[in-house]
A and B are shown apart, each in its own frame.
Chain A
Amino acid sequence: MIKEYRTIQEVTGPLMLVKNVSDVAYDELGEVELPSGERRRCKVLEVNGSDVLVQLFENSAGINLADSKVRFLGHGIELGVSPDMLGRVFDGMGRPRDGGPEILPDERRNINGTPMNPASRNYPDEFIQTGISTIDGLNTLVRGQKLPIFSGSGLPHAQLAAQIARQAKVLSADAKFAVVFAAIGITFEEADFFISDFKRTGAIDRTVLFINLANDPAIERISTPRMALTAAEYLAFEKNMHVLVILTDITNYAEALREVSAARKEVPGRRGYPGYLYTDLATMYERAGRNLDSEGSITMIPILSMPEDDKTHPIPDLTGYITEGQIILSRELYRKNILPPVDVLPSLSRLKDKGIGAGKTREDHSGTMNQLFAAYARGKEAKELMTILGEAALSDIDKLYAKFSDEFEKKYVSQGYDENRSIEETLDLGWKLLSILPKSELKRIKPELIEKYLPEEEQ
């Protein structure tokens, strides 16, 4: 028997205080019924004696202290999951948004999930070919990795993410593949870009979309990524699918979290974000991975726009501490029309070493990768020096490095959004660029590999 309470005492921002309740538990889902009969969802943030503090997922307009009723449903926020979710569009709370029927769930899962046991994780080491040289060659993505894209306002992160979703494939297997996409407070146009891209390529049939647009309730954003991850966990670990999860934009998520925290008058951490932002983000990001008990995997690409392109802002900073690397987009490259404008030096994939090499990509991958990084870094330094002192100040070898870095940006980085390069093409291109430099400079590659792969005309 579910009790109804008419004891709402306070409504402030997204929070509501209900008095004299009994048998209500922390994190329980509730429902507010307005005098008009409209229902809105809420969850319990704090139990204090017989008072509960609840957080509304929608706006508070129309809530009337005297006539609104609150019910607590005896469970946390759940999502009904089923394979029929593929090809469907849901809102940020998991209700169908595409006009289709409700899903008949196989089971209902709490959207918070439970922590994955480190002892049952399976280490991600299967190479995913994205067809993008800067990722495949230098910041290799592997199955089960969480690799965010750090972007900024006005940079083409959506195009890059769509390109990855479109081109990503594993070289060996023909396993079942699915995409779970969560739009967190992004504009209609941006969401529409993804949806039409999925439609254009036919990917839509194996995609589940959770959409919370910029004009949808902000607090709903706290649950949107968790809805998406719950669906992804079901598809990956129950249905053995390989799931690519794209979450965009995490900055909007963190702002929703800050809104609730501020309303609760919690002691703020850096820039007003709550002190538990790290833990909170981690409980989402860590849901990516593989485990020993199922075939499936969750590979996660969260996208976040760095305020003022500042990597030390709490959102990118804490994300970087949790995720296994980051792909950073550069405004400077974008202005030079180098697309996708991936800034390879600060970008990193922590799991790359496990996913590359003989048997996975090619034996020369690791050496050439390090050499390209080092050469590009030195080339950029040389170019900086050149702008200060003029070309004459450079030694002959530095001039070659400067030339290398220009060519590298033009040929290797700038490949556009439609070119899909195989890993061999990427590696061969790397060798071609390295042949600009004298052989004695290639110290990070084993001599026998230089003999084998360095293009003939230079030797």
Chain B
Amino acid sequence: MTSGKIIKVSGPLIVAEGLSHANMYDVVRVGNDRLIGEIIEMRGDRASIQVYEETAGIGFGDEVITTGAPLSVELAPGLIENIYDGIQRPLEKIREISGSNIKRGIDVASVDRDRKWDFTPQKAVGDKVTSGDIIGTVPETVIVEHRVMVPHGVSGEIIEIKEGSFTVEETICRIKTEKGDIKEVAMLQKWPVRVGRPYKEKMPPDVPMITGQRVIDTMFPIAKGGAAAVPGPFGSGKTVVQHQLAKWSDVDIVVYIGCGERGNEMTDVLREFPELSDPKTGESLMKRTVLIANTSDMPVAAREASIYTGITIAEYYRDMGYDVAVIADSTSRWAEALREMSGRLEEMPGEEGYPAYLASRLAQFYERAGRIYAVCGEERRGSLTAIGAVSPPGGDISEPVAQATLRIVKVFWGLDSSLAYRRHFPAINWLNSYSLYLDRLSGWFDENVSREFMKNRSEAMNLLQLEAELQEIVRLVGIDALSADDRLTLETAQIVREDFLQQNAFSDTDSYTPLEKQARLMKLVLNYYANGKRALAAGVNPSDVFGMSAREKIGRAKDAPNDSYNTVYDEIEALMESETDKLISAKEGM
């Protein structure tokens, strides 16, 4: 451990000398309050340090001590259901120590050292194990079985393995390596946050992550192991979309990173998730969620770290063989933190003051997503899906963060403020959003939903595209200039927009739509189109077609209960058929 003296303080950046023996990215303790910092630049024996806490009161000559270790997260049972700050300090514990506001220099262990966990071994004495092999399990929550893995770099023969109740630091297993060393394994492991956890092999993602959001699952699906961006101006509902994904995605673990966003939003998650139940397991959503909260008023350097802290925890669960989703709100705030530190380091700025390495850092983050075979002696699959919100200034996505993000991600859900003003939520613009996973996923949809699913999807997309073109004409010459068929297209597109794409996150039924119901509802809407065409071909007046009472019923179809929607939709379809028949026969009878 070496120590140095501070020679410069400028906001969250300090420079200290006498640290020539320290390593890049070592964690250091600064000043009398022992504030946590990280070395981000070395010049001679001078180190530039970003400090994760407010630096007021630090002055020339104060001491800096290196810990000799890089910024790491603690990985052990007890992560789930917890809320951490950007450098993995548990906020509930901090609250017990310092009250409502976060004071400086608080030193708390990330994972509870006193709590005992029931460990059930899966291996026996004499078994040969390699890194990543599961030696036993711990019921971390009702739904998450924590799989304790052999630490990286360790392999050999188990010479002792215990069963029973242990704290995370107690030795539960001893492994004799090939060299003859004895390694003691506890549940607690550490991993440096800036290094991705290794995997054996990546696979192309071909299973969709079902989110229960119609515009996402049906129109712009994301694959498990994929990466998506949600850009949008303020007030367009980014956070609601992110919350919906965190709530309803069909993954095993969700890591939600509140990065430089509002404190109340994290509180909302913290208070609301325990009340909501997961559609898959019926248990509380909190039982599968890890929260990382670095709100906008918390120190800016820790915001930079929060993204890495979150994704490292996610990788750890991925390695256990789980499907994990990381949801980061918002990557723009993270980029701003980078910019601020870069400015204080007096680096040459790239575009709009952002550092030149912005794009590569973003790429590194999103590339940690993927569907993988885990490093271990058996075949174990896991996936990590990364979804990042982007908050472009003024909603203009030509800015550097949005552009650098779009070059990497395969799914783009573009939020549109004009839709938000019309209270069309989720305000995902169907004309400019895209998902590059469609081709890969079509096989899965064919097999698991129906052969018609992709066909219906493209028919609906076509209608929306046609609508946009027809709207242009309407704006120029008025609706009367359109043919009856075109008016039916407009009418159906409106149904697709209002009664399919719009989804109320705050309604109990509508908040989550199972995939089968989405497919059925889409079929219902397109059936209206088919019947309408049939009637128009027989010469029925368009306004009579639009006035069918079945049309109004479709408007309420999305609120049909998730367990009995089929009957409701069948009834609407039957009504629609008979009404159309009636209109046609009335016309023919004339």
- Report whether A113 and B336 are in contact in the complex, using a CB–CB cutoff of 8 Å: no
Kindly list chain B residues whose C-beta atoms are within 8 Å of the C-beta of A156. none
How far is the CB of A35 from the nearest CB of chain B, in Å? Answer: 28
Also in contact, A270 and B393, with CB within 8 A (given A117-B95, A119-B83, A275-B353): yes
Contact of A317 among B58, B353, B394 (CB under 8 A): B394
- Report whether A122 and B102 are in contact in the complex, using a CB–CB cutoff of 8 Å: no
B139 within 8 A of A: no
- Chain B 58-115 residues near chain A, CB threshold 8 A: 58-61, 83, 91-92, 94-95, 98-104
- Chain A 369-386 residues near chain B, CB threshold 8 A: 370, 373-374, 377-378, 385
Binds B, one of A214-222, A334-342, A343-351: A343-351
User: Interface 1/0s, chain B 397-422, versus A by CB < 8 A?
Assistant: 00000000000000000000100111
B2 within 8 A of A: no
- Report whether A282 and B260 are in contact in the complex, using a CB–CB cutoff of 8 Å: yes
- Report whether B393 and A115 are in contact in the complex, using a CB–CB cutoff of 8 Å: no
Also in contact, A47 and B8, with CB within 8 A (given A27-B56, A293-B100): yes
- Report whether A377 and B99 are in contact in the complex, using a CB–CB cutoff of 8 Å: no
Residue among B94, B264, B396, B477 having the largest count of chain A Cβ atoms under 10 Å: B264
B122 within 8 A of A: no
- Report whether B263 and A118 are in contact in the complex, using a CB–CB cutoff of 8 Å: yes
A120 within 8 A of B: yes
- Chain B 239-292 residues near chain A, CB threshold 8 A: 239, 258, 260, 262-264, 266-268, 270-271
Kindly list chain B residues whose C-beta atoms are within 8 Å of the C-beta of A26. 9-11, 55-59
- Report whether B103 and A119 are in contact in the complex, using a CB–CB cutoff of 8 Å: no
- Inter-chain CA distance A118–B340, complex, in Å, is 23
Also in contact, A25 and B270, with CB within 8 A (given A278-B336, A286-B262): no
A41 within 8 A of B: no
B339 within 8 A of A: yes
A105 within 8 A of B: no
- Inter-chain CA distance A116–B101, complex, in Å, is 4
- Report whether B421 and A115 are in contact in the complex, using a CB–CB cutoff of 8 Å: no
CB-nearest residue of chain A to B547: A440
Also in contact, A276 and B300, with CB within 8 A (given A118-B293, A270-B393, A312-B394): yes
A-B contacts, 19 of them at CB < 8 A, read: A25-B59, A26-B56, A26-B57, A26-B59, A27-B56, A76-B56, A114-B104, A116-B101, A122-B267, A279-B260, A282-B296, A289-B263, A317-B394, A348-B235, A370-B423, A374-B422, A377-B423, A395-B479, A440-B552
Also in contact, A393 and B478, with CB within 8 A (given A47-B60, A123-B268, A292-B100): yes
- Report whether A373 and B234 are in contact in the complex, using a CB–CB cutoff of 8 Å: no
B561 within 8 A of A: no
Also in contact, A120 and B296, with CB within 8 A (given A267-B343, A324-B264, A393-B478): no
User: Interface 1/0s, chain B 34-59, versus A by CB < 8 A?
Assistant: 00000000000000000000111111
A50 within 8 A of B: yes
How far is the CB of B351 from the nearest CB of chain A, in Å? Answer: 11
B214 within 8 A of A: no
- Report whether A321 and B234 are in contact in the complex, using a CB–CB cutoff of 8 Å: yes
- Inter-chain CA distance A350–B234, complex, in Å, is 11
Kindly list chain B residues whose C-beta atoms are within 8 Å of the C-beta of A115. 101-102, 263, 295, 297-299
- Report whether A312 and B395 are in contact in the complex, using a CB–CB cutoff of 8 Å: yes
CB-nearest residue of chain A to B90: A119
Also in contact, A279 and B59, with CB within 8 A (given A119-B95, A321-B391): no
Contact of B423 among A120, A278, A324, A373 (CB under 8 A): A373
How far is the CB of B30 from the nearest CB of chain A, in Å? Answer: 11
B480 within 8 A of A: yes
How far is the CB of A236 from the nearest CB of chain B, in Å? Answer: 11
CB-nearest residue of chain B to A276: B340
- Report whether A377 and B421 are in contact in the complex, using a CB–CB cutoff of 8 Å: yes
- Report whether B100 and A237 are in contact in the complex, using a CB–CB cutoff of 8 Å: yes
- Chain B 433-488 residues near chain A, CB threshold 8 A: 475, 477-480
How far is the CB of A222 from the nearest CB of chain B, in Å? Answer: 14
- Report whether B100 and A275 are in contact in the complex, using a CB–CB cutoff of 8 Å: no
CB-nearest residue of chain B to A277: B336
Kindly list chain B residues whose C-beta atoms are within 8 Å of the C-beta of A131. none
Other than the known A23-B61, A27-B57, A47-B9, what 6 A-B pairs have Cβ atoms closer than 8 Å? A25-B57, A47-B8, A114-B54, A118-B295, A317-B234, A320-B234
- Inter-chain CA distance A374–B6, complex, in Å, is 59
B352 within 8 A of A: yes
Kindly list chain A residues whose C-beta atoms are within 8 Å of the C-beta of B333. 278
A388 within 8 A of B: yes
Kindly list chain A residues whose C-beta atoms are within 8 Å of the C-beta of B299. 115
A314 within 8 A of B: yes
User: What's the interface size class on B, roughly?
Assistant: 35 or more
- Report whether B421 and A346 are in contact in the complex, using a CB–CB cutoff of 8 Å: yes
- Chain A 149-177 residues near chain B, CB threshold 8 A: none
- Report whether A117 and B100 are in contact in the complex, using a CB–CB cutoff of 8 Å: yes
The 4 closest A-B pairs by CB, nearest first: A312-B394, A282-B296, A27-B56, A25-B59
A185 within 8 A of B: no
User: Interface 1/0s, chain A 111-152, versus B by CB < 8 A?
Assistant: 011111111111110000000000000000000100000000
B126 within 8 A of A: no
B125 within 8 A of A: no
Contact of B264 among A27, A237, A289, A440 (CB under 8 A): A289
- Inter-chain CA distance A292–B54, complex, in Å, is 24
Interface residues in chain B, defined as those with a beta carbon under 8 Å from any beta carbon in chain A: 6-11, 54-61, 83, 91-92, 94-95, 98-104, 233-235, 239, 258, 260, 262-264, 266-268, 270-271, 293, 295-300, 333, 336-337, 339-340, 343, 349, 352-353, 391, 393-396, 417, 420-423, 475, 477-480, 498, 506, 552, 555-556
How far is the CB of B427 from the nearest CB of chain A, in Å? Answer: 12
Kindly list chain A residues whose C-beta atoms are within 8 Å of the C-beta of B55. 26-27
CB-nearest residue of chain B to A50: B60
CB-nearest residue of chain B to A269: B353
- Report whether A279 and B263 are in contact in the complex, using a CB–CB cutoff of 8 Å: no
How far is the CB of A49 from the nearest CB of chain B, in Å? Answer: 5
CB-nearest residue of chain B to A369: B423
- Chain A 272-314 residues near chain B, CB threshold 8 A: 275-276, 278-279, 282-283, 285-287, 289, 291-294, 311-314
A73 within 8 A of B: no
- Inter-chain CA distance A286–B239, complex, in Å, is 17
CB-nearest residue of chain B to A312: B394
- Inter-chain CA distance A346–B104, complex, in Å, is 39
Kindly list chain B residues whose C-beta atoms are within 8 Å of the C-beta of A48. 7-8, 10
How far is the CB of B430 from the nearest CB of chain A, in Å? Answer: 18
Residue among A122, A289, A322, A377 having the largest count of chain B Cβ atoms under 10 Å: A322
CB-nearest residue of chain A to B103: A114
- Report whether B100 and A314 are in contact in the complex, using a CB–CB cutoff of 8 Å: no
A59 within 8 A of B: no
- Report whether A23 and B267 are in contact in the complex, using a CB–CB cutoff of 8 Å: no
- Inter-chain CA distance A266–B346, complex, in Å, is 9
How far is the CB of A250 from the nearest CB of chain B, in Å? Answer: 15
CB-nearest residue of chain B to A284: B297
How far is the CB of A184 from the nearest CB of chain B, in Å? Answer: 19
How far is the CB of B290 from the nearest CB of chain A, in Å? Answer: 14
Also in contact, A47 and B100, with CB within 8 A (given A266-B343, A279-B340, A443-B556): no
- Inter-chain CA distance A266–B137, complex, in Å, is 53
How far is the CB of A272 from the nearest CB of chain B, in Å? Answer: 11
Kindly list chain B residues whose C-beta atoms are within 8 Å of the C-beta of A121. 263-264, 266-267
How far is the CB of A118 from the nearest CB of chain B, in Å? Answer: 4
- Report whether A23 and B263 are in contact in the complex, using a CB–CB cutoff of 8 Å: no
Kindly list chain A residues whose C-beta atoms are within 8 Å of the C-beta of B417. 346
How far is the CB of A240 from the nearest CB of chain B, in Å? Answer: 13
- Report whether B268 and A286 are in contact in the complex, using a CB–CB cutoff of 8 Å: no
- Report whether B235 and A114 are in contact in the complex, using a CB–CB cutoff of 8 Å: no
